[in-house]
Structure 1
Amino acid sequence: MRAFAGLLLAMTLAMPAAAQPAMRWATSWAASVQGPYPTGNPSAQPDQRFAFPDPARGARDQTLRLVLRPSLWGQRVRLRFSNALGTQPLVLDGVHVGLQMGGAAITPGTNQAVRFGGQPGVTIPPGEMAWSDAVALPFVPDGESGLLAGRKLAVSLHVVGESGPMTWHAKSLQTSYVSPPGSGAHGEDEAEAAFPFSTASWFFLDALDVMAPAGTPVVVAFGDSITDGTASTMNGDDRWPDVLARRLFARYGNRVAVVNAGIGGNQ
């Protein structure tokens, strides 16, 4: 069965370029939502009481800079934000996506504004989610997207007012960054000075798609804490789905996505 599955994947990837003229969205990264915060089991979590003093009020007029590693790169992306477990409308604006340079800093010239239906912000009702418009990433090389393999994106979002209970993914095993409550919108900032707090979780953002050739395989890893990354290295990208993604990249290049949909305690 394993050999047959491998043959199917090889046949898909061996199709000539002329047979794949169409492009479609392919999920390159995702995080299963849970909560509301602080319900969950994060790993190596800093004290969140400074960034989010009152979980019932959630994020309050502050900017989150969430760091993630796409498993598949492309020149156009779209982002999905979730208020699945919220109890009031979630209002976001000042959303940006750029190439992480290090820490909360963005590689100069890569930070791109994100819009929603042509507007700079979006209101997401409780229990709902929202996709952004397509965003061009001019720093992704044409035809050589694999050169960015292993690099990370930083997605910045400003919560307008109070979010109320926050939808999150507790165990990101990736350091992201938060500005102080009441500090306003800092998504445009390339520097890291506005982000004194850190978190080992992802909030609100639950998927990133890239525009890829039709037929691009997307492998989805389901599971519990083992898949989610318990006992994996903080910022090490060494969960078993990460290892699988690297092995597939080594064999096929930037042509297969691996998405981790694991969540601690899943049954």
Structure 2
Amino acid sequence: MRVTRPNRAALAAFALVLLTPAVAVAQEPLAAATGSSASWADGWTASAQGVYPIGYSVGQPGPVGPAGPGNTAPLLTAAFPDNQAHNQTVRMIVQPGVEGSRWRVRLTNEFGTRPVTFGRAYAGLQRIGGAVVPGTNRALTFAGRRTVTVPAGRTVLSDPVPVRVTDAQSQHLAVSLFIAGDSGPMTWHAAAFTTSYLSAPNAGDRTADLTDRAFPHSTTSWFFVSEVQVQRRDTATVVAFGDSITDGFFSTINGRDRWPDVLQRRLDEREPAGREVSVVTEAIGGNMVTRIGRTPGGCTPCDGPPAVDRLDRDVLQRPGVRAVILLEGINDLGGGGATADQVIAGYRDIIRRVHARGIKIIGATLTPSAGTAFGLYGTPETDAARRAVNTFIRTSGQFDGVADFAAVTEDPANPGHLLPAYDTNSSVGGAGDHLHPNRAGFIAMGEAVDVSQLLRFALYPAARPAA
């Protein structure tokens, strides 16, 4: 994975963020096991990871910066010439996993260092490109107001907005945000694998536009949006919690073929009438379970908060969560130099906290990385540690279930390596990196999850402990 150097302003902004308190995200009521017309569940999420442009993006348009540690994201210089928004509109395209007619949208300034004012915000159905289906674009309000200022380190959840999504496999929501004035450092999720659209600087409020003529620039990242909730009966949320392999690196841009997407389609085929499961992805490229530092030349800010630190925000505080699938740890071993015991200790902490909330957790075995040229991923020592971690996942009994991703992706003729058919790059072409499975690999992984067990966890949970 080629790495480029972040600019000094972005690093300074991240340093300031490290000094701010943890983001305060209000916890929504968990949906009752029997469901209710007032229940909310997550329909789509993206884990806020840091300040643009620090992070790993894929298929991003724009010039690439000089080589060096800290960032692989090409800069969107035409839209954000100084890495911030100026009196302009972003149209973020997201795809909920379930149908619905009432939604709430969370805007995030978690890693910003100054307040961001959203002068107007709309949500509607994407038509094609950056265009919106006529008659569907609805104004978002926040405590009844159409303008909202989000302080640094905070998020805000919109009031319910009526937009009818009748086919979650084909319809996308277009969330349009007008940033009034200067945004300062922008909170983002680098690797969206979905194309969104940006106006030019100082283009003003174009949130109500139905055409995309005012949105000449594109991005494969998400800015300022971290969650879309749906209100409906008998809907539960499953969180795919992990790193770049869960985030979809080497899947297909706009193809929805990450392993959580494959799993969503399998669940759709098996769900009982009137009950639905929404699979949401809370994953960050480079993310680690532990707080163990990266090897020299690496860049911790690129990787987002470690799983043990973002668990509350990304899992426990999400509404309607019934189960978690955890696939993470290879970056600790291959990028951070952590031991198998340290990763397992992180697992135990996560399992304890998840179980304390009455939520089930499935452990996913770590896929092979032998042959990888960067970090320590390709070494025999890392492979031995990976196998020790996988033995814990399979045999410890600590997890409520196991998704054996290693078994379906490892080459039996070349142990420790990905199957050759899974070791190419679906996103931008060319060879793979021996770490990230491609579309074919993600399909195999999505098929490896026990859907019958997951439906039991999601739709028929045991009684929860008191909050």
| TM-score tier after normalising by the smaller chain length | 0.7 to 0.9
Matching residue of 1:193: 213
Alignment check: 8 A CA contact 2:97 2:280 kept: yes
The alignment status of 1:159 with 2:174, answered yes or no, reads: no
Q: Measure, in 1, the Cα distance between the counterparts of 2:162 and 2:244.
A: 34
Matching residue of 1:227: 246
Answer 1 or 2: which has greater strand percent.
1
**TM-score scaled by structure 1?**
0.87
> How far is the alpha carbon of 1:150 from its aligned partner?
2.6
Larger Rg: 2
> How far is the alpha carbon of 1:156 from its aligned partner?
0.2
Q: Matched residue of 1:23: which SS?
A: coil
Q: Matched residue of 1:94: which SS?
A: strand
The alignment status of 1:208 with 2:245, answered yes or no, reads: no
Matching residue of 2:351: none
> Which stretch of the first structure deviates more once superposed, 115-124 or 245-254?
245-254
Q: Matched residue of 2:204: which SS?
A: coil
Matching residue of 2:79: 51
Matching residue of 1:258: 279
Answer 1 or 2: which has greater helix percent.
2
> How far is the alpha carbon of 1:149 from its aligned partner?
3.1
2:52 paired residue among 29, 37, 43: 37
Q: Measure, in 2, the Cα distance between the counterparts of 1:52 and 1:196.
A: 13
Task: Give the aligned CA root-mean-square deviation in angstroms.
Answer: 1.4
> How far is the alpha carbon of 1:212 from its aligned partner?
1.8
Counterpart of 1:172, as a letter, is: A
Cα 1:151–1:22 change in 2 (3 A) is closer
> How far is the alpha carbon of 1:106 from its aligned partner?
0.5
Counterpart of 1:89, as a letter, is: P
Q: Measure, in 2, the Cα distance between the counterparts of 1:22 and 1:109.
A: 25
1:150 paired residue among 147, 170, 186: 170
> How far is the alpha carbon of 1:20 from its aligned partner?
4.0
Counterpart of 1:39, as a letter, is: I
Q: How many residues align?
A: 241
Deviations 1:229-255 (A, max 9, x none): 100001101000011011111221771
Q: Matched residue of 1:246: which SS?
A: helix
User: How do residues 1-267 of structure 1 correspond to structure 2 at under 5 angstroms?
Assistant: 20-47=35-62, 48-55=76-83, 58-137=84-163, 139-140=164-165, 145=166, 147-213=167-233, 215-252=234-271, 255-267=276-288
> How far is the alpha carbon of 1:135 from its aligned partner?
0.5
Q: Matched residue of 2:264: which SS?
A: helix
Q: Matched residue of 1:247: which SS?
A: helix
**TM-score scaled by structure 2?**
0.50
Q: Measure, in 2, the Cα distance between the counterparts of 1:148 and 1:171.
A: 21
> How far is the alpha carbon of 1:148 from its aligned partner?
4.2
Deviations 1:23-42 (A, max 9, x none): 31100100001120000000
Q: Matched residue of 1:62: which SS?
A: strand
Q: Which runs of 5+ in 2 are unaligned?
A: 1-32, 63-75, 289-467
Percent identity between matched residues is 47
Q: Measure, in 2, the Cα distance between the counterparts of 1:23 and 1:233.
A: 36
Deviations 1:151-192 (A, max 9, x none): 111000000100000000000010000000000000100001
Counterpart of 1:197, as a letter, is: H
> How far is the alpha carbon of 1:73 from its aligned partner?
1.8
> How far is the alpha carbon of 1:22 from its aligned partner?
4.2
Q: Measure, in 2, the Cα distance between the counterparts of 1:217 and 1:117.
A: 26
Q: Which runs of 4+ in 1 moved over 3 A?
A: 19-22
Q: Measure, in 2, the Cα distance between the counterparts of 1:105 and 1:194.
A: 10
